[in-house]
Each structure stands twice: as structure tokens, then as C-alpha cells.
């Protein structure tokens, strides 16, 4: 703690250590000073104008987010963040959203649990279980469970199992189930369009439906840009957010 010529108390905060004097020696805070002189909070020579509590809360949230986004499993989210393609504010609201905010039901809890597992890439897929419990899941032949009927050259129809590794991405892009996923995507866009129509009929038309349908976030093709597999990590793309704002959402 130090006192300037006007007897204002100045606290200098480093990210996680409070330094009370210019010489970095710790001193006891004289709380009586605060009754007459408002403290001035500074962060690396910049005056902090927001309330100290919310400021420190933001600092810790930034630290935890930074730790999280730098995890190896979040490489994809990290690169999308660098491309400014994720709306983190909406993503956070979506992951923690429950139907009834006043109470917690088992169904709500299960929904949030599932979203967090998708978000953190911790769905118990076979690939993940092989890493977690190599003593139990130790057969490299155990791959995706899906199988399809294949017609062979002799006319016989045989059940052929998908030989791809079961990863979180493969769940939504497996060749055996990809047609069903396309139907789900189509129905999702129709549902969004119907909800937009109920909000403001004047802003939706066949053109707006095409505009929604053409967004990259419905694409099942793996690319550098945001695609459907990123949707299934519970990430919300910035461009979808902006389109919804254009249609009158707030
Ligand atoms: Zn498969």
C-alpha cells in the first residue's frame, strides 16, 4: 500500500498477487484509510474503472478459460477462436441452459451433463474408453458399432461393419448413419426457420431459408472453417448468431 500526495490509497494488482508497496514489501492494510479516501484500483498502470469484485472475477474467468482453451483436446476450438468463428458468449449460455432456471431436475441435469461432455470432448466413445481404461478396452479391432447391408458380387447381402475408429466426430459423420444426420440437420434448419417466422413474419421468406441452409455450420465436410461437427461440440458460430440477429432475434 502506498499513499500519494493527495493521500489517496493506491492498490497495485498483479494478476494473482497483490503488491502493497512500490518496493514490493508487504505491509498491513490500514482499513481506516478507506473510510476517508476512496481506493484507486490499478492494473499494470491502468486505472480499473469497473467494480473491483467483478474485475477480479473477470480476471479469474480469463485465466481459467485460457487454461481450458490451451488443452490439447481443444486444439480445434483454439484454432476456431483464432479465426474469430465462435460466439463464446452464446456458447456459454447454451452449454449451461436449462428449461427451468429456478430448480434443477434430473432431466435438465442430464442434458447439461451431455452438453459438457460434448463441449469438453469427453463423450465415452470407444476411442476415449481405450485411452481411459486400456486394461478393459484393449482390442484394436473394436471400432465403430454401426454396420450396413452390402450387396456382394455374387448377389448375396452381408452385414458389413464400419471399420472406422469411434471418435466423437465419427458419431456424427459415420457413413452408415450420415443420411439420418442429414435429415436431422434439415429438420433443425426448418425448426429454426419456423421459430423465426413466429417471431417476425416479415423478415422470413424462401430466400431466408436458403440463406440459413447455406451456412457452413451445416456442412458435414471436414474443413478449416466451422462445420457441423463443431456444432456437435456445442459451439455456436458467430455467423449463425449474426444471421439470427438479422432476422430479428435479440
Ligand atoms: Zn462408423
For residue 34, the model assigns a pLDDT of 62
According to the model, what pLDDT value does residue 15 have?
A: 39
Q: Does residue 47 sit within a domain?
A: yes
Query: Ligand 1 centre and the CA of 132: distance in Å?
Result: 21
Q: Which domain holds residue 153?
A: 130-169
Q: Does some domain include residue 111?
A: yes
Number of domains in the chain: 3
Residue 149 alpha carbon to ligand 1 centre in Å: 13
Assess whether 28 and 48 both reside in one domain.
yes
**Distance from Cα 173 to the centre of ligand 1, integer Å:** 8
Whether 189 and 239 map to the same domain: the answer is: yes
In the chain (250 residues long), the average pLDDT of successive 10-residue segments reads: 40 42 54 65 83 88 93 92 94 89 85 94 92 91 87 79 91 93 94 88 80 91 91 94 84
CA–CA gap between residue 55 and residue 52 (Å, rounded) = 5
Query: From ligand 1's centre to the CA of 122, what distance in Å?
Result: 18
Residue 39 inside a domain? The answer is yes
157 and 179 housed in the same domain: no
Rounded to the nearest angstrom, the distance between the alpha carbon of 148 and the centre of ligand 1 is 10
Q: What is the pLDDT of residue 33?
A: 61
Same domain, 102 and 214: yes
User: Residue 234 C-alpha to ligand 1 middle, in angstroms?
Assistant: 21
Residue 30: per-residue pLDDT: 62
Does residue 53 belong to any structural domain of this protein?
A: yes
Distance 3 CA to ligand 1 centre (A): 68
- For residue 75, the model assigns a pLDDT of 92
CB 243 within 8 A of CB 89: no
* Spacing, Cα 82 to ligand 1 middle (Å): 31
The verdict on 116 and 87 lying in the same domain is yes
Give CA–CA dist 80/34, Å, rounded.
Answer: 45
Q: Are residues 142 and 181 in the same domain?
A: no
Tell me: do 221 and 102 sit in the same domain: yes
Beta carbons within 8 Å of 218's beta carbon, 6+ residues apart = 185, 188, 189, 228, 231
Whether residue 125 lies inside any domain: the answer is no
Radius of gyration of the chain (CA): 26
Distance CA 42, CA 14 (A): 9
Q: 84 and 34 in one domain?
A: no
- Residues 53 and 34 reside in one and the same domain: yes
For 241, what's the count of Cα atoms within 13 Å in the CB-facing half-sphere? 16
Is 63 domain-assigned?
A: no
Give the per-residue pLDDT at 21: 46
Does residue 66 lie within any of the structural domains?
no
Cα–ligand 1 centroid distance for 126 (angstroms) = 11
What spacing in Å lies between the alpha carbon of 170 and ligand 1's midpoint? 6
CA of 138 to the centre of ligand 1 (A): 19
* Residue-level pLDDT at 14: 41
pLDDT at 209: 84
Q: Are residues 53 and 160 in the same domain?
A: no
Amino acid at each position: 500500500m502506498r499513499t500519494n500526495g493527495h493521500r489517496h490509497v493506491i492498490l497495485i494488482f498483479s494478476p494473482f498477487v497483490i503488491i502493497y508497496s512500490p518496493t514490493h514489501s508487504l505491509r498491513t492494510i490500514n482499513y481506516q484509510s478507506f473510510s476517508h479516501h476512496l481506493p484507486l484500483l490499478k492494473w499494470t498502470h491502468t486505472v480499473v474503472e469497473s467494480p473491483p469484485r467483478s474485475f477480479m472475477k473477470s480476471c479469474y474467468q480469463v485465466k481459467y478459460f485460457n487454461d481450458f482453451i490451451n488443452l490439447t483436446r481443444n486444439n480445434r476450438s483454439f484454432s476456431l477462436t483464432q479465426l474469430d468463428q465462435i460466439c463464446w458468449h452464446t456458447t456459454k449460455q447454451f452449454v449451461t441452459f436449462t428449461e427451468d432456471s429456478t430448480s434443477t431436475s434430473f432431466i435438465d441435469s442430464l442434458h447439461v451433463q451431455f452438453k459438457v461432455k460434448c463441449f469438453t470432448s469427453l463423450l465415452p466413445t470407444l476411442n476415449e474408453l481405450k485411452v481411459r481404461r486400456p486394461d478393459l478396452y484393449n482390442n484394436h479391432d473394436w471400432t465403430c458399432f454401426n454396420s450396413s447391408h452390402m450387396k456382394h458380387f455374387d448377389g448375396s447381402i452381408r452385414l458389413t461393419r464400419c471399420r472406422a475408429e469411434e471418435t466423437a466426430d465419427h458419431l456424427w459423420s459415420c457413413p452408415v448413419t450420415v443420411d439420418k444426420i442429414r435429415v436431422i440437420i434439415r429438420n433443425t434448419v426448418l425448426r429454426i426457420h419456423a421459430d423465426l417466422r413466429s417471431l417476425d413474419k416479415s423478415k422470413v421468406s424462401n430466400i431466408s431459408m436458403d440463406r440459413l441452409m447455406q451456412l457452413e455450420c451445416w456442412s458435414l465436410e471436414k474443413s478449416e472453417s466451422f462445420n457441423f461437427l463443431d456444432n456437435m461440440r456445442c459451439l455456436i458460430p458467430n455467423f449463425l448468431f449474426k444471421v439470427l440477429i438479422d432476422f430479428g432475434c435479440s
